[in-house]
Amino acid sequence: MSNGNNTDWFARVVAVLGLVLACASIVLPYVKDISDSQEAINITAKPESGGGILRLSGNLENSRAIQIPWVFTISNTGKVTFSITSYTVHKLEGNGGVSYFSGLDGGLTDSMNRPVAIPFTLNPGESESFRLHLGYVPEQKVEDILRNLFEKIGPVEYQSAFHTLAKQGLTFYGGDAVYREFEDGNTLISIESFDKDPVYQVSFGTGRGNSFAIVTSTNPAY
């Protein structure tokens, strides 16, 4: 190859590299701008084991649902402010489908049991926690124990109901539990099965039309 050809080839390579770098200098900031403008949400959920009150349906003709208090926390992990404008609750079925029934969604409340107003806004770095009662249709033996408990003492906290059922060898959802009480007054409760625990999908919609969902259950598999 002659020196002239070498020079032309080198010039072409330099030109191509320059074009690539120029394009990258335009594309990378553009991609970063898109990323910075996207909503980023983290959602966590867990049963409210301390202080949360169970709810029983007062009208058995309309619903036999028992509602368990859960605590949901939504965090804005992105760089833009967003508003939560809606939410939906579904129960996931084993066949891959979803279901809804009267009493499934007990509504959003704050720690003082006041309704949470929607929409609400979260700035970057902010979080909001609230209570959401999630319903399920209990086995008859579980329902009888809980309704009897309500009739005796009135409103029942999650922990109290959990212990009462465990003493009968049951969980809220009809699974097997083992209750042990020791001489020093301490207790140990072992849950032996989780296959009856319901699985919920809770989705939150934003003002920009996006939807973010969490799948949650007391079953450790989730």
Least confident of 13-17, 67-71, 216-220: 13-17
What's the mean pLDDT in 207-221?
95
Residue 107's pLDDT is: 92
Cβ atoms of 64 and 135 within 8 Å: the answer is no
Q: How far apart are CA 82 and CA 196, in angstroms?
A: 36
Q: How far apart are CA 122 and CA 126, in angstroms?
A: 6
221 residue type, one letter? A
Average pLDDT, the chain: 85
**104-160, pLDDT tens digit by residue?**
999 999 988 899 999 999 999 999 999 999 999 999 999 999 999 999 988 899 999
Cβ atoms of 193 and 175 within 8 Å: the answer is yes
pLDDT for residue 95 is more than 90 = no
Placement of tokens 């009208």 in the chain = 59
Confidence of residue 25 (pLDDT cuts 50, 70, 90): low
Q: How far apart are CA 104 and CA 90, in angstroms?
A: 8
Q: How far apart are CA 43 and CA 35, in angstroms?
A: 19
Residue 31's pLDDT is: 40
